[in-house]
Chains A and B, each alone.
Chain A
Amino acid sequence: MEYLTAFIVGGLICVVGQIILDSTSLTPAHIIVTFLIIGVILGALGIYEPIAKFAEAGATIPIPGFGYALSKAAIEGAKSKGVLGAFAGGLEATAGAIAAAVIFGYVTALISYPRSKS
């Protein structure tokens, strides 16, 4: 069951992005940053939490989920450690993914070359 909800919710989030992409002259980078900030805001307002509970990976794998994780951790950090936690919380919680992207990105660049499109 959770597979179906993950597929549908994740797919729908992407459809919203696709429609914006097709109907404006925004680039994917604009959409990603906008969705991320929406995730941060929805996370802060407590709206994203139930979506993530319901759809699990369908809500956490798309980029708004990344924003949700950031804001949730910043609030938790602020709760437990005050100002220091507000600063460090978000990055602490998402450090794994960011570090992974850096190291995998670097290693991939070392061992492979870009190919021309055909």
Chain B
Amino acid sequence: MAVKRIGKQTIKFHNPPSIIGTSSIVGPKEGDGPLRGYFDIVLEDDTWGQKSFEKAEAKMQEEAIKLAIKNANLSVDNIQFLISGDLLNQIISSSYTARQIGIPYFGLYGACSTMTESLCIGAMIIDGGFADNVVCATSSHFSSAERQFRFPLEYGAQRKFSSQWTVTGAGATVLSANGNGPYITYITPGRIKDYGVTDASNMGGAMAPAAIDTLLQHFEDTGFTPQDYDLIVSGDLGLIGRRIVIDMMKKKGYDLSENYTDCGIKIFDVVEQDTHAGGSGCACSAVVLNGYIYKEMKKGTFNRVLVMSTGALHSPISTLQGESVPGIAHAITLENLPR
């Protein structure tokens, strides 16, 4: 009997895991954005002295993991599992990082939903008593993602209005069975939703149905309302996706207009920084969660936050073959005081 399950998709932890250390590393453009003060390291050069953008991304993830463990006042030996993923083919950034960290590793592919996906799994491992400490991490790099999913950097193509800007950065979270918060109290892992959107330059629109589905399920399973949260934040739906979520949730009787935002909107000044519909990428929700949200929760600005990273699970090949973009969203509830 799965006693920790409530409703159809949600899990309520009996021993809520605590976040005991976080880290966020971002590239220069993100460091120029509105959240600049919240990041642990802002790179001046987005290759970080490496020979390729892929190597730079792996280095960011590795340093982010080490820094999060250090910030938790632990050493790598105290961590039992590394749970991570990224956007590159065969999740190479994460696997090369795991090679350096040298602890048991679960590699995930959840595209931009990886941050909360890894936290869902990490939290279940802790609550289940399978580990005392785990570290969850993810990374993305504008230039490594761009060459895999879109065009070469020096190619003179215009970006569509609906397109989003992949965040260069890495974030890591150390979860522990012991700690004094913020705690992960509930998780609602999401289902794939695919409404046949084939335009890979409109990720927000492709992922919005998954976000709406997860939100509705979360509220239904837990009995919460949006007003029970100080902040509800999605991963990288951007301006278009956010508008759809607010609109659709209103039709279902949930008012999100007051306390709902999106990491992709928070991280850049979309007008000043010319990021069109906003930020995206694994690192988008990772650095906003581990930088801004964690630090503001520690200060007590927010006591109850719903974080929901969103992922577009297509590939360059599926796009060329005209296949649609499957979307997913995983929600986690962060609380300062578990009830």
Measured CB to CB, the residues of A under 8 A from B are 21, 25, 27-28, 114-118
B28: chain A residues at CB < 8 Å are 118
A114 touching B154, Cβ below 8 Å: yes
Closest beta carbon of chain B to A99's beta carbon, Å: 21
Query: Can you identify 13 A-B contacts, CB atoms within 8 angstroms?
Result: A25-B199, A27-B157, A28-B158, A114-B152, A114-B153, A115-B154, A116-B47, A116-B153, A117-B142, A117-B146, A117-B153, A118-B28, A118-B29
Q: Is the CB of B157 within 8 A of A116?
A: no
The answer to whether A21 and B158 touch across the interface, beta carbons within 8 angstroms, is yes
Cα separation A45 to B199 with both chains bound (whole Å) = 36
Cα-based distance from A117 to B154 in the complex (angstroms): 9
Nearest chain B CB to A53's CB is how many angstroms away? 30
Q: How far is the CB of B213 from chain A (nearest CB, A)?
A: 25
Interface of A is mostly: loop
Cβ 8 A contact of A116, one of B142, B158, B201:
B142
B46 within 8 A of A: yes
Q: Known interface pairs A114-B152, A116-B46, A118-B29. Does A28 touch B142 (Cβ–Cβ under 8 Å)?
A: no
In the assembled complex, B22 has its CB within 8 A of some CB on chain A: no
> Contacts A21-B158, A27-B157 hold; do A116 and B199 have CB atoms under 8 A apart?
no
Complex formed: what's the CA distance from A118 to B28 in Å?
8
Name which residue of chain A comes closest to B201, CB basis: A25
The residue of chain A having its C-beta at the shortest distance from the C-beta of B198 within the complex is A25
B217: interface (CB < 8 Å): no
B173 at interface by CB-CB < 8 Å: no
Contacts of A114 in B (CB 8 A): 143, 152-154
CA–CA, A71 and B29, complex, Å: 47
A27 cross-chain contacts in B, Cβ below 8 A? 157
Of all chain A residues, which has the CB nearest B141? A116
The complex places the Cα of A28 from the Cα of B28 at a distance, in Å, of 29
Contact with A along B196-209 (1 / 0, CB 8 A): 00010100000000
Since A115-B154, A116-B153 are in contact, a sample of 13 more A-B pairs with Cβ atoms closer than 8 Å, ordered by chain A residue number, is A25-B199, A25-B201, A27-B157, A114-B143, A114-B152, A114-B153, A115-B153, A116-B27, A116-B46, A116-B143, A116-B168, A117-B143, A118-B29
